[in-house]
A and B are shown apart, each in its own frame.
Chain A
Amino acid sequence: MDSPAISVEHVSKKFRLYHEKYMTLKERVIHFGNLPFEEFQALTDISMEIGQGETVGLIGHNGSGKSTLLKCIGGILRPTSGVIKVRGQLAAMLELGAGFNPELSGRDNVYLNATLLGMPKREIDRRFDEIVQFSELEHFIDNQVKFYSSGMYMKLGFAVAVSFEPEVLLVDEVLAVGDERFQLKCLDKIKQFQSDGRTIVIVSHAPDVLRTICDRIFVLDKGVQVGGGPAGEAVRLFRERLFGTGLTGAAPGDQPSAGTIRLGRVGVEHAHSSERQYLEPGEPMTVTVPYVATEPDDVVVALSIRDQRDELVFATDTEIAGQDRVHASGEGVVRFNFRSVPLLDGSYKVALAVRSCTSSRIHAFSDGQLSFEVMNPGKETGMVSMEVSVGVSPHVSAALVD
């Protein structure tokens, strides 16, 4: 790869946040010289290089500065310090149909919007039919845009934006709008851009979308670039930042006062615990539950795994798992050995409870302190890791073709 398509060098951006905006002359005179504002550091010393033909994602939660960075790259905002160099023609899809005027017809708006994005008139003339066809608005193109539905509005905006064929394309959450079919169309177009060798920078807070299309992802948090790298790894980092989770060895669980059995340091172990915090899909995992029983009792240890939205992913207990009763006396350890954890990305919470078989009493439980993280280095998305192989055969039986 020769020199980068986009190079961002030590870019910082400060915003002024006015507590109360004094917009009129009178107010400005009255409050002259002491406008109450706070400086807000939206971006701090960001540096990155994006190679030609690369598809790069910027991820971060709301307020992380990802859109600000994209706007700086697009030249809409000027950084407070630092330099951004972009090679080749650039188009920014920050908002579909930005600058559409509701009073004008679809046709006029196509021309206006396209010149605004930098397309010369002759070029628009040449591509006009193509744009209209792509937007599927042939019958409405001479209607005023104010009579369009929001869906039609977006389709037209998208059709103009992609007609451009820029060398560098900036996309901001555009994929999140529109119906499913339209989103697929967006994705198709982006894939086509990729195969054409164009450079794409996409901003999103939806990691799964980015994972499927990006080569690399940069993670931003509070205006600071906290990491970047191959998609899977970056998504894990992002999840960690967002939820503040990771693979944790938990503190001893909450102890119901009446219980005669206490839990020790419950924990999650896996084959690679020493080198990395997270699991990869399909790897084995062990949950260890040490306990101390002050009075002997027959107990059942229950385990449940929930995802970030608190949806139950899996639950079992020692009885279900085939171990009759656990006779607890003195110190001991119960281990749940998972031969394989067929989960894709995410962080998961593990809850444990020790229940007496002789009475209805709960001796001890641990809820929410224990969690583990799964990171998918591959490109599959979803919740569950399924093993799949693809078979393609040149001959198809007649029955299938019909």
Chain B
Amino acid sequence: MSVTRQSRVPDLNGAEDDTGRKASARKTLPDKPTRVVAADVRVWQRVGDVWRYRELLLSLVRKELKIKYKNSTLGFVWSMLNPMLTLIVYYFVFQVVLHNGIPQFALYLLCGLLVWNFFSTALPGATQAVVGNAGIVKKVSFPREVLALAPVGAALFFFGLQALILIAALLVFGVMPAWSYVPLLIPAVAGLVLFASALAIFLSAVNVYLRDTQHLLELVLMAWFWGTPIAYQYQLVANRLPAVHLPTWVFLLNPITPVVITFQRALYARPDPVSATGAVIQLLPSNVDLMWYLAPLLGVIVASGVLYVGALAVFNRLEGNFAEEL
């Protein structure tokens, strides 16, 4: 009997090793990779799996997006209407009614909300990812962490749409970004995505065993929101920390904070604006340079990288029994 070989598709690439996770026992014919199913899988292989399965990841992200606005007339416009309405409501409440002092408060708020919305959309979806896709997990073999990363990818797409709203708002209100700080947005987004991915992978696995995770997450996210300088100013907390004998960097331990203040510094661009009453409002430290923002961002990236590998290790351990637990 002749053995016909398929013309292999170079794209699921080098490793047509199709669940990719094995590689270790590659032997004999180089064109017929061996995959090994065993009790243990090494974490480092998993890191590479995500890249090997990028097509699947993209396909799952597309699915998330399609399903979210399936059968709705406005579709993606909804995800832009949301921040637009927030902007209008906050403008009225804080500027017209309450006169809270921060000029163009709605813009300031939107800088932080943009970051937060990404984070708070990605995580609940990711937490449900493995449990919600039980049908696939039980029947198809692929690195399951891709399921958890798909909601992060979808959230990133919405992040992009909402960023368009922010840019439009900046144009409408005639606010000029601080151009020298704009490049910082790249490490800021990178850190944010990496951090969210690490949490996504961790939460999706834990939720299989402890279904409370999804409910607990809602509470944690609410507390987290108020622990991040989005609706209030960074300096408000930073100024008070010495009074309780804490160094100011404690506030920056919240990985979202450096990201949010970078967005505020680069796009809202005024660390200490003057309010309508003539008082100077301290939003961000005024006597710091670019490095002050960059250093914690790099910290977030490195820490998230470590967290990511840690989350994969946890996922790797728990994954073995997914198909049974679901």
Contact = CB atoms under 8 A, between A and B. Distances in A.
Given A89-B18, A98-B140, A197 B4 contact: yes
Interface string A307-349: 0000000000000000000000000000000000000000000
Contact of B12 (A73, A87, A118): A118
A91 B19 CA distance: 10
Given A15-B324, A23-B211, A76 B9 contact: no
B141 interface: yes
A206 B1 CA distance: 27
Interface in B12-44: 12, 16, 18-19, 21, 25, 28-29, 32-39, 41
B9 A87 contact: no
B18 A73 contact: no
Nearest to A79: B39
Contacts of B136: 98-99, 116
A95 B11 contact: no
Contacts of A80: 39
Interface string A23-42: 11110100000000000000
A71 interface: yes
A3 B38 CA distance: 19
Given A15-B324, A85-B35, A99 B140 contact: yes
B3 A53 contact: yes
A5 to B, nearest CB: 9
A231 interface: no
Contacts of B320: 77-78
A303 interface: no
B55 A23 contact: no
Contact of A115 (B4, B59, B66, B319): B59
B210 A28 contact: yes
A88 B32 contact: yes
A122 interface: yes
B169 interface: no
A167 interface: yes
A191 interface: no
Contacts of A84: 36-38
Nearest to B12: A120
A86 B37 contact: yes
A90 interface: yes
Contacts of B67: 101, 103-104
Contact of B9 (A53, A94, A122): A122
B212 interface: yes
A76 B323 CA distance: 7
Contacts of A141: none
Interface string A54-84: 0000000000000000011111111111111
B245 interface: no
Q: B interface, by DSSP: helix, strand, loop or mixed?
A: loop
A104 B63 contact: yes
B48 interface: no
A305 B39 CA distance: 50
B142 interface: yes
B139 A76 contact: yes
A99 B139 contact: yes
A379 interface: no
B33 A87 contact: yes
A59 B217 CA distance: 45
B210 A23 contact: yes
Contacts of A77: 320, 323-324
Q: A interface, by DSSP: helix, strand, loop or mixed?
A: loop
Contacts of B36: 83-86
B35 A90 contact: yes
Which of A23, A98, A120 has the most chain B CB atoms inside 10 A of its CB? A120
Interface in B128-154: 133, 135-142
A147 B5 CA distance: 38
B140 A92 contact: yes
Contacts of A25: 210, 212, 216
A94 B139 contact: yes
Contact of B38 (A71, A79, A101, A197): A79
Contacts of A103: 66-67, 70
A24 B310 CA distance: 24
A265 interface: no
A87 B56 contact: no
A108 B55 contact: no
Given A25-B212, A94-B139, A118-B12, A75 B19 contact: yes
Given A24-B212, A115-B56, 10 more contacts: A79-B39, A84-B36, A88-B5, A88-B33, A90-B18, A95-B135, A103-B67, A108-B66, A121-B55, A197-B2
- Ranked nearest first, the 9 interchain pairs of A and B with the lowest CB-CB distance are A98-B139, A75-B141, A120-B11, A99-B136, A25-B212, A115-B59, A78-B320, A84-B37, A197-B3
18 contacts: A71-B323, A78-B41, A85-B25, A85-B35, A87-B28, A90-B18, A90-B35, A92-B139, A92-B140, A94-B139, A95-B135, A101-B67, A103-B66, A108-B62, A115-B59, A116-B56, A116-B140, A117-B140
Interface of A: 2-3, 15-16, 23-26, 28, 52-53, 71-90, 92, 94-95, 98-99, 101, 103-104, 108, 111-112, 115-123, 165-167, 196-198
Interface of B: 1-6, 8-9, 11-12, 16, 18-19, 21, 25, 28-29, 32-39, 41, 55-56, 59-60, 62-63, 66-67, 70, 133, 135-142, 209-212, 216, 319-321, 323-324
